[in-house]
Structure 1
Amino acid sequence: MSDRLETELVTKALKQALYNRKTNKDLMFHSDRGTQYTSNEFKELANRHGITLSMSAKGRCYDNAVAESFFHTLKTEEVHLSNYRIREEAKTSIFEYVEIFYNRKRLHSTLGYVSPIDFEAAWNCTAERVI
C-alpha cells in the first residue's frame, strides 16, 4: 500500500505474485493505462517472465470491469465501514479483508457462488485432467 501510484509498488506486487504462484503457464496482466504500468521497468519485468501485457482502451473503464468491481466491493465492504487511525491499521485491515475474507470465504456470483480460492482449486483440477 502506498500513498502514490508508482512503478516500484506494482513491480513489487508482480514479483510477489510470481513468487507465490510459481506457474509456468502463459500469463496475461491486464491494467489501465497508468504510468506505473507503462514504465520501462514494469514492461521489462513482464517481458522477462513471458507475461503478455494488456491495457484498457483510453477512457474505457468497462475494459477493466473486474478490477473496478473489486475496488468498489473493497471500499463498500471494508474501507467505508472502518475508521483507520494510522496507515498501518489500514494496511492490516485491508490485507485481512482481502486474504482472509474476500479470497477464502466471500461467495462471488460471477464464480458460481464459490470463493476465489475454491474456484481456482476446481479450475486447476479440471485443467490437470485435460492435460
Structure 2
Amino acid sequence: NLSLFYLVAKTGELGWIHFQELPAFVYKNERLNAFEKTKVRYFDYKAVELDLKKTTLKAGEYWILVSDRIYSAIGIPSGEFTKQFETALSGKNFGNSRDLILDCGRIIERRYGKNVLETSAFLAVTRK
C-alpha cells in the first residue's frame, strides 16, 4: 500500500493521495480523529484520476498514516481497528512525533503481539 503526501511547513498546507483502506488520522487536543475514508482503492495509480485530499496542519497537530497490514494481520475489520486505536490514544499528550510513534508501537505490541508489530508501519508528521 502506498500513500503520497506533501507538507508546506510555512503554511501547514498538507496534501495526500491515499492508496489504502485505512483512513489518514490527525491527532490534536489529545484525541485521534480519522479523516474521511478513501472511497476508491488504487491498484494501478496510473490508470485513474487521483483524488488529492487537502487540509491545514496546525502547530502541535500530528498527521498519521497507519498501514493496512496492521488490521489485516490482526484479522479485524478496519473500522473496528480504527475505534480501538482512537480509544488507546485518547487523552495522551505527546511532545513530538517520535513519542507518538513509539506509543503506537507499544499499543500494537501490548494488544496484538510482537508478530503484528513487526508487520506494522506508521508515519507521523507534525508542524512545530
Higher strand share: 2
Higher helix share: 1
TM-score, shorter chain, exceeding 0.5 = no
Normalising to structure 2: TM-score of the pair? Answer: 0.33
Which structure is higher in RCO with an 8 Å CA cutoff and minimum separation 6? Answer: 2
Greater gyration radius: 1
